[in-house]
């Protein structure tokens, strides 16, 4: 019964590649394929089509189209073993035999022979981008079987050209994020590199579903081993430009003003430099936080380049998606060119599962230029000396 279902899918479905006809078939073989694709074709017509294919093979023993055509007829006749042998022979004759590759992919996938099935899918997708609409849903569906994930990951770890489109597609459409996470994890285990775009797509989806703890844990799991010792409630509060994946880490997207560069008195120690006219509508760096409930202190260092910069910028902690500030730390007045400390105490409740730390301007009528440096920004438990 399974083979008959495949026959309907491969050979009669209008969305199938087969309906476009084999690229290297002559007019006689095209006519034979029309018969095979006709669900109403009787045994006599199928026999005529097979005779046509056999005459072609007598003249051209390496004609893969004729070979796959006879395989399709065996499929119609309910002889899957013969079909598999003929389709395998066709792809061995011609490594660009789409019809045979497509049949073998479906057949091997149904048998849960995932390594072989994904080899066929890879061959098809490397040849034609048009196969994405047919194969991607079936590849994504295979993630429901944990046994399919490692062989698919091994194939993707080789970085085929279709990988980025596929991973983006499953991040957008797959019903459960566990499958995409497992796939990315297996890609990494297989020696492949998970791209920032792939990880960002996964984390963004989790955050959109308010699964903050899971997103934060997944982000940490995919960080390079050497970076896990740098994890703090504020990631890269020293503004060293550590690797990250959005939405975690500093967000300089959407034209956020600010640059990480060494200040004049610390040539080997980058900091965040803000130059702003105080008037233009600008965004400034922010990052998503996942800090557990408790009492905390926001702290850091600030240095103003001009006296007019004092009191013109502030760090704000809010619950994600809520406007009310939990903490506000305004740049204090100080001697231009000298570092000073800022602090702000605040409390996070259990009703605030994720937070956002944002730098924002405090507009003033005079509109004097702002020139500020920030460094060592962090959140620590209240009473902590670190």
**Would you state the pLDDT for residue 277?**
78
Is 239 among the domain residues? no
- Residue 21: Cβ-neighbour burial (10 angstroms; 0-12, 13-18, 19+): middle
Phi, psi of 71 (to 5 degrees): -60, -40
- Residue 43: Cβ-neighbour burial (10 angstroms; 0-12, 13-18, 19+): exposed
Cα separation, 359 vs 172, in Å, equals: 31
Contact 175, 208 (CB under 8 A): no
Q: Are residues 77 and 178 in the same domain?
A: yes
Q: Are residues 196 and 263 in the same domain?
A: no
Q: Are residues 130 and 265 in the same domain?
A: no
**Would you state the pLDDT for residue 156?**
97
Helix (H, G, I), strand (E, B), or coil: what is residue 75? helix
Q: Are residues 141 and 44 in the same domain?
A: yes
pLDDT (average), residues 10-19: 40
Is 219 among the domain residues? no
Is 231 among the domain residues? no
Cα–Cα separations (whole angstroms), residue 319 to 213, 218, 314, 322, 352: 14, 21, 16, 5, 6
Q: Are residues 190 and 293 in the same domain?
A: no
Output DSSP code: residue 358.
Answer: E
Phi, psi of 294 (to 5 degrees): 155, -175
Q: Are residues 49 and 194 in the same domain?
A: yes
> pLDDT tens digits, residue range 195-207?
989 999 999 999 9
Cβ neighbours of residue 358 under 8 Å, at least 6 residues apart? Answer: 284, 285, 286, 315, 316, 318
Contact 75, 8 (CB under 8 A): no
pLDDT band at 355 (very low <50, low <70, confident <90, very high): very high
Query: Which CATH number do you get for residue 343?
Result: 2.60.120.260
Is 246 among the domain residues? no
User: Total domain count for the chain?
Assistant: 2
**Would you state the pLDDT for residue 20?**
36
Where a domain ends, among 188, 208, 228? 208
Contact 8, 39 (CB under 8 A): yes
Cβ neighbours of residue 217 under 8 Å, at least 6 residues apart? Answer: none
Cα–Cα separations (whole angstroms), residue 23 to 67, 108, 123, 352: 14, 24, 16, 60
Contact 168, 138 (CB under 8 A): no
pLDDT band at 385 (very low <50, low <70, confident <90, very high): low
Using omega within 30 degrees of 0 as the cis cutoff, is the peptide bond preceding 113 cis?
Answer: no
Q: Are residues 203 and 263 in the same domain?
A: no
Helix (H, G, I), strand (E, B), or coil: what is residue 342? strand
Is 49 among the domain residues? yes
In the predicted model, what is the mean pLDDT of the chain? 86
* pLDDT at 368 exceeding the cut of 80: no
> pLDDT tens digits, residue range 219-255?
998 887 777 777 889 999 999 988 878 889 898 766 5
Q: Are residues 158 and 284 in the same domain?
A: no
> pLDDT tens digits, residue range 77-103?
999 899 999 999 999 988 888 889 999
Joined together, the tokens standing for residue 246 give 């959005």
pLDDT (average), residues 5-31: 50
Is 242 among the domain residues? no
Where a domain ends, among 208, 243, 269? 208
Q: Are residues 59 and 175 in the same domain?
A: yes
Q: Are residues 80 and 148 in the same domain?
A: yes
Query: Which CATH number do you get for residue 175?
Result: 1.25.40
Is 101 among the domain residues? yes
Is 250 among the domain residues? no
Question: If you search the block for the tokens 């997944």, which residue do you land on?
Answer: 218
Q: Are residues 165 and 301 in the same domain?
A: no
Cα separation, 342 vs 326, in Å, equals: 16
Q: Are residues 270 and 202 in the same domain?
A: no
Q: Where in the sequence is the domain holding 124, given as residue range(s)?
A: 2-208
List the helix and strand counts (H, then E) for the chain: 13, 9
């Amino acid at each position: 019964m399974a083979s008959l279902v495949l026959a309907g899918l491969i050979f009669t479905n209008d969305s199938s590649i087969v309906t476009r006809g084999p690229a290297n078939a002559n007019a006689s073989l095209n006519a034979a394929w029309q018969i095979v694709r006709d669900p109403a074709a009787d045994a006599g017509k199928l026999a005529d089509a097979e005779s046509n294919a056999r005459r072609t093979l007598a003249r051209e023993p390496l004609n893969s189209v004729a070979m796959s055509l006879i395989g399709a007829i065996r499929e119609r006749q309910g002889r899957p073993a013969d079909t598999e042998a003929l389709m395998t022979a066709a792809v061995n004759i011609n490594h660009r035999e789409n019809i045979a590759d497509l049949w073998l992919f479906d057949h091997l996938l149904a048998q849960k022979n995932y390594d072989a099935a994904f080899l066929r899918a890879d061959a098809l997708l490397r040849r034609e981008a048009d196969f994405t609409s047919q194969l991607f849903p079936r590849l994504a569906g295979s993630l429901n079987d944990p046994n399919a994930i490692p062989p698919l990951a091994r194939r993707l770890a080789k970085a085929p050209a279709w990988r980025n489109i596929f991973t983006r597609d499953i991040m957008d459409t797959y019903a459960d994020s566990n499958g995409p996470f497992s796939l990315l994890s297996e890609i990494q285990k297989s020696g492949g590199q998970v791209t920032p775009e792939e990880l960002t797509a996964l984390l963004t989806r989790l955050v959109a579903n308010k699964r903050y703890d899971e997103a934060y844990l997944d982000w940490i799991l995919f960080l390079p081993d050497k970076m896990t010792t740098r994890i703090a409630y504020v990631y890269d509060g020293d503004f060293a430009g550590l690797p990250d994946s959005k939405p975690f880490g500093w967000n300089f997207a959407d034209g956020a003003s600010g640059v990480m560069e060494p200040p004049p008195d610390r040539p080997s120690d980058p900091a965040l430099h803000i130059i702003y006219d105080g008037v233009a509508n600008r965004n400034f760096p922010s990052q998503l936080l996942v800090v557990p409930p408790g009492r905390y202190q926001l702290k850091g260092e600030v240095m103003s380049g001009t006296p007019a910069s004092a009191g013109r910028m502030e760090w704000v902690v809010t619950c994600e998606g809520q406007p009310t500030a939990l903490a506000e730390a305004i740049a204090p007045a100080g001697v231009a060119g000298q570092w000073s400390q800022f602090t702000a105490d605040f409390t996070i409740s259990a009703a605030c599962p994720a937070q956002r730390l944002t730098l924002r301007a405090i507009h003033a009528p005079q509109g004097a230029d702002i020139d500020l440096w920030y460094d060592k920004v962090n959140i620590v438990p209240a009473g902590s000396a670190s």
